[in-house]
């Protein structure tokens, strides 16, 4: 998830890696019809992402693992309560509405068989993702 683009990488069978078509982040994460300056629309993101991935031919029910790289911080204290970090603590380049965004809860309907987590983008970059 980036300030300008949201990129998608799909790994199949452990070795085949496909870069899917990126989407302007505002198309996924914002709704221009909302009143006020803050257009972030967390409730619409899953359906928009589902539509994009289906258009790219991704069989969503077959996805086993989803990792979101977020430009901000992820609540690692939640690891005491859960095996995966999924809750955004701070995302300065996005809306304050992003604080508390739970990726696992929001994307469970899109990826019904997947383990979902979120990592800070600097960690993802360090890992080469």
Q: Is 63 helix (H, G, I), strand (E, B) or coil?
A: coil
pLDDT of residue 40: 85
pLDDT of residue 18: 85
Helix locations, the chain, DSSP H: 25-29, 45-55, 103-107, 121-126
pLDDT of residue 66: 87
Helix, strand, coil percentages (3-state) for the chain, rounded to 5, are 30, 30, 40
pLDDT of residue 56: 92
Average confidence (pLDDT) per 10 residues, the chain, 129 residues = 78 81 87 90 90 92 85 59 58 67 87 85 70
pLDDT of residue 86: 56
Confidence (pTM): 0.76
What are the φ/ψ torsions at residue 116 (nearest 5 degrees)? -115, 135
């Amino acid at each position: 998830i980036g300030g300008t683009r949201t990129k998608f990488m799909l790994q199949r069978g452990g070795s085949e890696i496909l870069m899917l078509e990126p989407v302007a982040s505002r198309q996924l994460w914002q709704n221009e019809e909302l009143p006020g300056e803050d257009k972030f629309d967390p409730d619409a993101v899953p359906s928009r992402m589902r539509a994009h991935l289906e258009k790219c031919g991704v069989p969503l029910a077959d996805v086993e693992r989803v990792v979101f790289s977020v430009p901000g911080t992820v609540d690692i204290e939640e690891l005491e309560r859960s095996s995966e970090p999924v809750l955004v603590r701070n995302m300065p380049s996005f809306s304050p509405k992003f604080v508390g965004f739970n990726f696992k809860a929001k994307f469970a309907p899109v990826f019904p068989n997947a383990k979902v987590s979120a990592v800070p983008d600097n960690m993802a970059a360090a890992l080469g993702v």
